Structure 1
Amino acid sequence: MKNNIKLILAIFVLAMLASCGGSDDGPDGEPDGGDGEGTVNIPTAAALIFPLKDAECNAGKIVSNRESTVIFEWNASDFTTKYTLQLTNLNTQEVETFETINTELEITLLLGTPYSWKITSSSSATASTAESEVWKLFNAGPGIENYTPFPAELVSPPMGLTITNPTTVDLLWKGSDVDGDISEYEVYMDNNNPPVTLINTVTKSEIKDVTLQANKIYYWQVVTKDLHNNLTKSSVFEFRTK
């Protein structure tokens, strides 16, 4: 009799344990191990609107004899919670950043100064970001009849490149000017920073077959001049030879 009672109790305990055991499903019915989350949407790049690309900007509000305020505008980008505007003074290469949740921003600029700007779109849901195009502008001052060219944008060889077994190199850059009256480019290149050796003066934005030596560090820079003898200097790029 006692053995029968023990058997019944054992069967009862096993039945209770089976009924209390959890399944392999998560709380939402999905198997454990699934993240249960949807796909994270990556921000898209914003489209710039104003100030216009590579153009004179005279729509700002003059606040002093040295400064004006300009409203920057861009289109909203998808899946974006914050925009970061990066502004570069092309004379000094000084970079400033401004954050906003809106699609426009008023910024104080120096008069008679060239700038470049771009927008970075970001989201609180992901570390991924998207960058807009880079536009240039010349913040015009009163009474300016001719504008200094934008500093040349060096293209090739890119900054920090190492060239193996070199004999020559092609130098390539981009020039732009509000007035469209660039007259020439002076190109400097040597082993000094900044370079002091004028290797050529050209009207096109390239020089081909510049002679190189192995195991050297080269620095190059482009000076852009216009018909009114205004000039600007590009950044200095360096590359190495092996």
Structure 2
Amino acid sequence: MPVSPRSGGQRPALVLTLPAAAPQAAVLILHGGRAEGPEPPPAWNLPGARMRPFAAGIACATAGHAVVGRVRYRYRGWNGARADAAQDALRALDELAEAAGSLPVVLVGHSMGGRAALRAAEHPLVRAVVGLAPWCPAAEPVDQLAGRRIVLLHGDRDRTTDPRDSAGYAGRARAAGAEACALTICGGDHAMIRRARTWHGLTARTVSGLLGFAPLPDEVAHALETGEPRSL
């Protein structure tokens, strides 16, 4: 499944980490970043490294069924109205469509990457988004989520993004026509180091369930059905 450089020599936004010969679906990982940052991400990037266990768990849970990749950002930050990370996510989805056709996609994003994934849910390939400690400002749009399934996981010890914002965002997404929920990981922090096994395992099982390769975790299925906040 080759991905060619864009016109003008621009590097592809899509990086395939687990290709598949005949994939039935795709999962794209979006790491975190900064509110402002006009420079490119560094070669060694802690937010990107933080997502490697998630990618590995998802690859295992969807083995033989899904291609797994990540979004390459041009810039380190969101950068206000430019929403650079969201634009890169949309480019990656276009590149995936060119390379593999109309595969159903689940986006998995942490922090700024969660915000980018939720914005990019407007793309026709996207079926669902899993947001990990996502950055969900009060005025963040939700209309693009109609018909999608949205699962937001947030630690109650997060001091960088607010779990209450995730709960509010999920409620607004449901009102806009999404099947959405927010679950709280008790003791979880923004870096997802505390209770890491819960973060990694629940995310992998949720992605597999959203793609129909396995049942959804019971707590996620109940929260999606009812919209009720859940603590884990």
Q: TM-score range by the shorter chain?
A: under 0.3
Whose strand proportion is higher, 1 or 2?
Answer: 1
Whose helix proportion is higher, 1 or 2?
Answer: 2
TM-score under structure 1 length normalisation: 0.25
